[in-house]
Structures are given as C-alpha cells and as structure tokens.
Amino acid sequence: MSSSIASRATEFAQWYLDVVVGGDLARYAPVRGCIVVRPYGFALWERIRDALDRRIKDTGHANIYLPLLVPESLLQKEAEHVEGFAPQVAWVTHGGTEELSERLAVRPTSEALFGEIYRDEIQSYRDLPVLVNQWANVVRWELRTRPFLRTAEFLWQEGHTFHETAAEARDEAERMLGVYREIWQDWLAIPTITGRKSESERFPGADDTLTGEALMGDGRALQMGTSHDLGQNFARAFDIQFLDRTNVRHHPYGTSWGFSWRTIGAIVMVHGDERGLVLPPRIAPIQVVIVPIWRTESERARVQAVVEEAVAATEATTVFGDQSVRVEVDWRDHVTPGFKFNEWEQRGVPIRLEVGPRDVANRSIVVVPRISSSEGAPAKEVVSVDRVAGTVSATIEQLQATMLDRARSTLHRNTRAASRWEDLVAAFDGGGGFVVGGWCGSVDCERAVKDATGATLRVLPFPGEITDDSTGEECIRCGGVSTGPAVFARAY
C-alpha cells in the first residue's frame, strides 16, 4: 500500500486522492463514481458511526429501516423536493425480465417514503413526536465524483421526525445540528461555523436548513452535515394530520438531518499532511502501532518480550473516559522498519512505538507522535517500559486536543471580515478561506458574489460563531441594510 503522495501545497486534489488510496481508506470501484471502502477506511467509518449512533439514541431517537426503492409517484408528491432531486436519481425500470409499470428511484434520500409511511402512524398528538433515524446507502447520480466527498453512492444516516408544534420541530433541528457539532468537534477534531443556509442553498422542500461548514486544507469549505426544519411541507404533501389536544386536526411539523461518510473526506483534508493521513486518536482504528526492530532470531525473541509487555500495559489503559487503547504490532518480516514507518504514517496512526535490541537492553521504548512537536504536539521521546502506558495514554489525549487547536487556529486565521466589495473580491483573489460580509438577503447580491469570486454563501452564522463583527451593517454588494453577516467561501 505504501506509495508516493503528491504535494499537498501545490497539487491538493491529487494529494487528496493519494492520501485516500495510500492511507488505505478506499479506492475507486469498477462502477462509475463509486468507491470500495477498504477495511481500514471502514473501521474508521464504524467508529464515527457508532459515536453518532449513541448520541442519536441518547437524544430519544430509534433506528428503523425504510425501503431502498421509491416509486416515482411518491417522489413527485412534494414539488420542490422532486425538482431538486430528479436530475440525480438512478432509476430501476426492470425487475428480472419484466418491465415495471412504474419506475422506482434508488433513494436519493427518504423524506418522501417517510411521509407516505408515517401518514398512517400519526393520528393523535399522542403519536407525536415521531423520532426515527436510519443508517442507509443512498444514490445520487453525480457527474463529477471524488472519494467520500461526492460519490454516486454513499453511506449516511438520515433522521426523520414529526412534531406537534413549529417550535418543537425547530428545537429538534437545532438539537441535532448540535449533536453533529459535538461529533465534528469532540471526535473528529474539526471546528465548524454553524448557522443557517440562504434560501438558494436550502434542502429542496425545507423551510430552513441548518449547517456546519468546515475549512479544508486548500482553503475551500466543506458542508459537514445539515439539519432541516421542514415546516409542514411534507406533512401537507403527504396529507399527514393529527388530532391535537383540543381535538382539532393539524399537519405536524417535520425535520430531517443527515450526516454522511463525507466527514471522512473532511478528516483527510483538515488534518492530513505531506506524509499522508493524520487521524484524530479518538476515532483512529489503531491508536498505537508498535514496530519491532530485529535482525537475528535471538534479538527477535528479546524484542518480543518487551513488545508483549508494552501491549499488555497499553491495552489495559483507557483514554477518553471509556476507550481501551487500540494497539497493533507489525511483525511483518518481508519489509523494512523504514517501510513500515512510512506506511503507518500514511495511514495516520497517532502514535508509533519502536522497540529494537538497544531499547531492550535499556528497557526503553521510543514513542513517536504522528504530528510534530513544532505544532504543539508532544515530542518524540524515549521512555522506560514501565512508563509507556502512561505516556501513551497522555499523548493520545494531548494529540486529540492539539489537532482541534491546530484546526481552530487555521479556521480562525482563514476567516476574514470584509466591509467593502473590493476587500471581498481581493480576499478571494489572494486565496481561499471564509470571507464574512454584510448581506441584504437578496438572491441577486448572493449571485453577484459567486459570479465575481466563485464563492457561494455557505452559512448565515448563529450568534457568537463569528468573533470578528467588523463587517458593517450594510450589504457588501448593494449597500442595503444587512440582515446580518454572511460567510462566503469556495466550496466542495
């Protein structure tokens, strides 16, 4: 798997592909726009998925499973929704040798099915709220694909809820964006700017879309996940009604929210470096790799004794409250230690331990963090075998914190306020990042920014998300009254 990696500084797109493949996460499949997720990549996804699944359940939701195939007539019930998704739908037209009387969409998302199915379930306020979620594959026929970020098929979770009141639905949409944010920040070590989408960037069929936007290593933004306040749109389209506490019929208020494996792409692009992947320890499938070094069989035996001691001590340690440290030993004998160092670095393992004959003599182990101490991480050090577990567990938690700090600094450094049109244009001429400006709320001004800079309106930030409020009270384009700051960026 070890392979050369393009320059992150000068060929970011190729670097991304090289890291995804060289880091053993995924490769392109012999199916247009689809990827094969390899064991290491899938183990990473399982850790992210399990962390999020626990929080989804903690917040009162239950998992369900809805069919993959959606009859065309159902998809058409919500007008904006079908208009938004139709160009991306893969259509099943035949079952065996039989031509179907109605085409079936391979689900691009499941709001329509959810609406159709829950019409029968929701009769009374006692049936509300409905709080469900599914982990599923979806297909969106994309012309330009990129592993994890934009693939014809991807894995995600999609939450679907219905509530008695508009306020409850709104709270739910905000609560689930908060859960996402927790995962991005506390598990993936990725800071975001959260807030609302402008009307033109909204989910088709939603009243409001909440988002978290992160900054990738090339200065472009990535939408990390979204949570939609659907209002009564789907309830109306699917004729869902309930008897309220005063015996009056109402349409319930809906939400939906999705979090996909594109977050793996974000991990690559936020944390990766010239040597490959750098995984946040909290979700790294392997937190510690031990590379034993030996020439003779007798050296191997002595090294092995120390390695086994280190494994036992380290695996008995916990980090992040409840995780046992995940250790792997690389005993391969047909590749050199140098090859192994390079390979495990490409795969982003947070800590490498080296044990050679000299270390055995001293009862010591070399501890090498994946990121360098110049970035605030702990330095490479030699510790005694007896202290290795303590050093490793402390280093794991420090690395997690350092990675978030580092990503926060990058986000902060690359978020610039602009109060004049020229400043905004110049900011994008000089590179990427987030540029914050006043905005009047008009689609014309939003489009003007895009035409001039290629940047789109990523998010209308929640209060407190942007510390620099020097954007003024005027729309950066037309000079009209600003409805609040808007964050622009070129985006994936």
- What are the φ and ψ backbone dihedral angles of 429, each rounded to 5 degrees? -60, -40
In the list 92, 305, 382, 401, the residue contacting a second copy (rule: CB under 8 A) is 92
* Residue (241 or 398) nearer to a second copy, CB: 241
* Residue (114 or 488) nearer to a second copy, CB: 114
Strands 62-63, 26-28: pairing kind: unpaired
* Residue (2 or 88) nearer to a second copy, CB: 88
**Residue 69 binding a second copy, by CB under 8 A:** yes
Supply the minimum distance, in Å, between the C-beta of residue 106 and a second copy.
6
**Residue 65 binding a second copy, by CB under 8 A:** yes
Which position has the token pair 């090859």? 339
The residue count for binding a second copy (CB under 8 A) is 53
Identity of residue 323: Q
Structural contact between residues 458 and 414, judged by C-beta atoms closer than 8 angstroms: no
**Residue 152 binding a second copy, by CB under 8 A:** yes
Supply the minimum distance, in Å, between the C-beta of residue 218 and a second copy.
27
Strands 130-139, 62-63: pairing kind: parallel
In the list 6, 51, 66, 452, the residue contacting a second copy (rule: CB under 8 A) is 66
**Residue 84 binding a second copy, by CB under 8 A:** no
Residues 111-130 that bind a second copy (CB under 8 A): 113, 116-117, 126
Question: Residue 214 pairs with which residues in a beta bridge?
Answer: 222
* Residue (30 or 463) nearer to a second copy, CB: 30
Structural contact between residues 255 and 172, judged by C-beta atoms closer than 8 angstroms: yes
* Residue (71 or 441) nearer to a second copy, CB: 71
In the list 17, 128, 155, 289, the residue contacting a second copy (rule: CB under 8 A) is 155
Supply the minimum distance, in Å, between the C-beta of residue 112 and a second copy.
10
In the list 71, 376, 479, 484, the residue contacting a second copy (rule: CB under 8 A) is 71
The C-alpha torsion from 76 through 81 and 84 to 87, rounded to 10°, is: -30
Could you give the string, one character per residue 22-51, with x where binding to a second copy holds by CB under 8 A and - elsewhere?
A: -------xxx--xxxxxx--xx-xx-----
Nearest to 385 by CA among 362, 369, 368: 362
Could you give the string, one character per residue 206-245, with x where binding to a second copy holds by CB under 8 A and - elsewhere?
A: ----------------------------------------
Angle between helices 39-58 and 166-182 (to 10 degrees): 140
**Residue 329 binding a second copy, by CB under 8 A:** no
Supply the minimum distance, in Å, between the C-beta of residue 24 and a second copy.
11
In the list 5, 21, 52, 70, the residue contacting a second copy (rule: CB under 8 A) is 70
**Residue 104 binding a second copy, by CB under 8 A:** yes
Nearest to 230 by CA among 213, 251, 253: 253
**Residue 74 binding a second copy, by CB under 8 A:** yes
DSSP calls for 378-432: PPPEEEEGGGHHHHHHHHHHHHHHHHHHHHHHHHHHTEEE--SHHHHHHHHHT--
Could you give the string, one character per residue 162-191, with x where binding to a second copy holds by CB under 8 A and - elsewhere?
A: ------------------------------
Structural contact between residues 389 and 317, judged by C-beta atoms closer than 8 angstroms: yes
Residues 360-419 that bind a second copy (CB under 8 A): none
Structural contact between residues 262 and 180, judged by C-beta atoms closer than 8 angstroms: no
Nearest to 450 by CA among 491, 400, 406: 491
Q: CB under 8 Å to 426, separation ≥6 — which residues?
A: none
Supply the minimum distance, in Å, between the C-beta of residue 450 and a second copy.
23
Supply the minimum distance, in Å, between the C-beta of residue 458 and a second copy.
26
Strands 364-369, 381-384: pairing kind: antiparallel
On the 0-12 / 13-18 / 19+ scale of CB atoms within 10 A, 1 is: exposed
H helix intervals, 94-158? 111-118
**Residue 448 binding a second copy, by CB under 8 A:** no
Supply the minimum distance, in Å, between the C-beta of residue 115 and a second copy.
11
Q: CB under 8 Å to 415, separation ≥6 — which residues?
A: 193, 215, 433, 434, 435, 436, 466, 468, 487
Distance CA(455)–CA(201), nearest Å, equals: 13
**Residue 132 binding a second copy, by CB under 8 A:** yes
* Residue (94 or 249) nearer to a second copy, CB: 94
* Residue (31 or 316) nearer to a second copy, CB: 31
**Residue 94 binding a second copy, by CB under 8 A:** yes
- Which residues of the shown chain bind a second copy in the complex (CB under 8 A)? 29-31, 34-39, 42-43, 45-46, 62-71, 74, 86-98, 103-104, 106, 113, 116-117, 126, 132, 136-137, 139, 141, 152-153, 155, 334
